[in-house]
């Protein structure tokens, strides 16, 4: 997960006292506002649950009131602390951290626990109305949706809930996947107009399609998603193939339709909006697609695509997300409301002894990073001959310290039924490191390697030997 604390704000605790609140953003979206002592209490509980060596240093308490400069220093240190938590798979998947973030979202929005209606859509805009508790986490809502449409339990792990936005020109933009540390109802309530929650498949290996095609409900969900993706140009096919697919549609031959679609360009990829890349030269307009174990770039010329290239995920040593000021030529095309834009940078093994940084400037940079991470997770599972990681996170009794200093038990209400773990889901399952970064550094003795917690290290990275050239 990508954590940040970009700013603070003064908050009234309801008793006339003012305190400094730290605004936590997760995966590029504001999530909650918490006090220093709330994060301190979280750290103390994490220290009891995990070894002290696992946790980063927490900013110490101060006796005297902080100056403006000291407050800014604390914000930076808290941001580094929580960013480090977000890079540890065991901490991110712990019910303690998930419960804290869920409780903090509820307290920040002052949301009371009550039964509500929530609209969920399939990709062909079919509406599924479910009754949920306003405080239900994502897993609980997903289970209720699947139960309502009578999707068998064993297929739930193949699907997730996504936030999708309809642009003014009618195009759809996938904003993000809803996570289990948030309430879909609360997140939906804070959404802008023209955004909705959609049920989509959530895996990269198209071989999982074969399992879904054995069940009529799962088959239909997959079918309507593929039809929509083709109509929107997310899956590319020729006019002749489109005519063939139309005939299968007319005869309601869904399996035959899917069999053809699975052979098409960009099938199973996630598509992103037009953005900018510094490869092969600065300010190159590109379309990015992630899937098939690669990040694909389509270079945009005048009125047409003129070139295409791809970067294999297994040859990305690491990647990072940074915010930067817009370049003038980008600002005129960007829809960003502020003066900065996000960048995804990855270090790529171009040849046997050459590493090169590639940078993509896009408002969807964080989603790209999340996609890369889930793709790597799934790759590592396949290498170990596994379908999904078992959730071995311990269950215990933890408390959430509220802003006023009172405490409540962290309530991770159990869903009616448990689905299998998500494909590629980050849990406590130990995955061996297939390639030693230390050995790689020794191999590239003349290459300058930067280190720091802002980098996401890719454990699916593979070196290139003489036989590969």
Q: Do 156 and 187 belong together in one domain?
A: yes
> Does residue 9 form part of some domain?
yes
419-439: average pLDDT: 45
Start-to-end C-alpha separation, the chain? 35
- Domain of residue 202, CATH code: 3.10.20.90
> Does residue 144 form part of some domain?
yes
142-200 pLDDT, tens digit per residue, is: 999 999 999 999 999 999 999 999 888 878 899 999 999 999 999 998 876 789 999 99
Last residue of a domain, one of 239, 261, 283: 261
> Does residue 371 form part of some domain?
no
Q: Do 100 and 123 belong together in one domain?
A: no
Q: Do 134 and 247 belong together in one domain?
A: yes
> Does residue 354 form part of some domain?
yes
Q: Do 211 and 340 belong together in one domain?
A: no
Number of domains in the chain: 3
Last residue of a domain, one of 241, 261, 281: 261
DSSP 8-state secondary structure symbol assigned to residue 327: P
> What pLDDT does residue 466 have?
45
- Domain of residue 440, CATH code: 2.30.29.30
- pLDDT top residue among 148 and 54: 148
421-441: average pLDDT: 44
> Does residue 381 form part of some domain?
no
> Does residue 423 form part of some domain?
no
299-318 pLDDT, tens digit per residue, is: 987 666 678 899 999 999 99
- CA-wise closest residue to 142 among 416, 368, 375, 405: 416
pLDDT above 90: percentage of residues in the chain? 62
> Does residue 268 form part of some domain?
no
DSSP string, 426-461: --S-----SS-HHHHHHHTTTSPPP--TTEEE-TT-
Residue 15's pLDDT band (cuts 50, 70, 90): confident
Q: Do 127 and 232 belong together in one domain?
A: yes
Q: Do 65 and 144 belong together in one domain?
A: no
Enter the pTM of the model.
0.85
Last residue of a domain, one of 261, 296, 320: 261
Which residues form the domain of 81? Answer: 3-112+389-409
pLDDT above 70: percentage of residues in the chain? 81
Q: Do 441 and 300 belong together in one domain?
A: yes
- CA-wise closest residue to 179 among 92, 284, 267: 92
Per-state percent for the chain, helix, strand, coil, to nearest 5:
35, 30, 40
226-263 pLDDT, tens digit per residue, is: 999 999 999 999 999 999 999 999 999 999 999 999 99
Q: Do 98 and 218 belong together in one domain?
A: no
| CA gap 53, 341 in Å, rounded | 35
Q: Do 451 and 357 belong together in one domain?
A: yes
- Domain of residue 76, CATH code: 3.30.1520.10
Tokens for 138? 């994502």
DSSP string, 216-273: HHHHHHHHHHHHHHHHTTSSB--HHHHHHHHHHHHTT-HHHHHHHHTTSBTTTPEE--
Q: Do 193 and 288 belong together in one domain?
A: no
Q: Do 91 and 192 belong together in one domain?
A: no
Q: Do 165 and 234 belong together in one domain?
A: yes
| CA gap 371, 177 in Å, rounded | 10
> Does residue 384 form part of some domain?
no
């Amino acid at each position: 997960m990508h954590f940040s604390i970009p700013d603070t704000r003064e908050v009234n605790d309801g008793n006339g006292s003012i305190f400094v609140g730290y605004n936590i953003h997760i995966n590029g979206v504001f999530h909650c506002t918490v006090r220093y002592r709330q994060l301190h209490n979280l750290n103390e509980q994490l220290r009891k649950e995990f070894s002290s060596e696992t946790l980063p240093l927490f900013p110490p308490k101060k006796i005297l009131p902080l100056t403006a400069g000291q407050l800014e220093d604390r914000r930076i240190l808290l941001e580094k602390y929580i960013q480090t938590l977000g890079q540890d798979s065991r901490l991110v998947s712990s019910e303690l951290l998930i419960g804290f973030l869920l409780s903090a979202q509820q307290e920040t929005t002052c949301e009371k626990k009550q039964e509500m209606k929530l609209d969920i859509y399939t990709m062909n805009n079919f509406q599924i109305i479910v009754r949920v508790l306003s405080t239900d986490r994502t897993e609980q809502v997903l289970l209720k949706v699947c139960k309502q449409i009578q999707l068998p339990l064993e297929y739930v792990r193949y699907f997730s809930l996504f936030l999708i936005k309809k642009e003014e020109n009618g195009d759809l933009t996938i904003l993000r996947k809803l996570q289990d540390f948030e309430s879909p109802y609360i997140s939906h309530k804070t959404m802008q107009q023209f955004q909705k929650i959609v049920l989509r498949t959530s895996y990269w290996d198209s071989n999982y399609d074969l399992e879904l095609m054995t069940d009529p409900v799962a088959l239909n969900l997959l079918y309507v998603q593929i039809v929509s993706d083709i109509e929107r140009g997310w899956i590319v096919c020729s006019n002749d193939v489109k005519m063939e697919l139309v005939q299968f549609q007319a005869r309601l031959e869904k399996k035959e339709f899917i069999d053809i679609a699975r052979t098409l360009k960009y099938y199973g990829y996630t598509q992103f909006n037009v953005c900018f890349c510094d490869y092969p030269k600065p300010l190159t307009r590109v379309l990015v697609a992630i899937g098939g174990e690669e990040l694909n770039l389509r270079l945009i010329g005048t009125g047409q695509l003129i070139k295409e290239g791809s970067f294999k995920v297994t040859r990305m040593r690491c990647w990072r997300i940074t915010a930067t000021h817009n370049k003038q030529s980008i600002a005129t095309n960007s829809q960003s409301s502020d003066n900065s834009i996000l960048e995804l940078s990855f270090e790529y093994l171009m040849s046997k002894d050459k590493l090169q940084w590639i940078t993509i400037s896009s408002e969807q940079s964080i989603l790209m990073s999340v996609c890369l991470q889930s793709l790597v997770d799934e790759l590592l599972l396949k290498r170990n001959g596994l379908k999904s990681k078992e959730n071995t996170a311990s269950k215990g009794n933890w408390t959430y310290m509220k802003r006023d200093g009172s405490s409540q038990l962290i309530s991770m209400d159990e869903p009616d039924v448990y689905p299998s773990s998500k494909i590629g889901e980050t849990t406590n399952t130990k995955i061996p490191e297939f390639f030693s970064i230390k050995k790689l550094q020794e191999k590239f003795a003349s290459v300058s390697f930067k280190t720091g917690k802002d980098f996401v290290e890719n454990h699916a990275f593979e070196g290139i030997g003489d036989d590969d050239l």
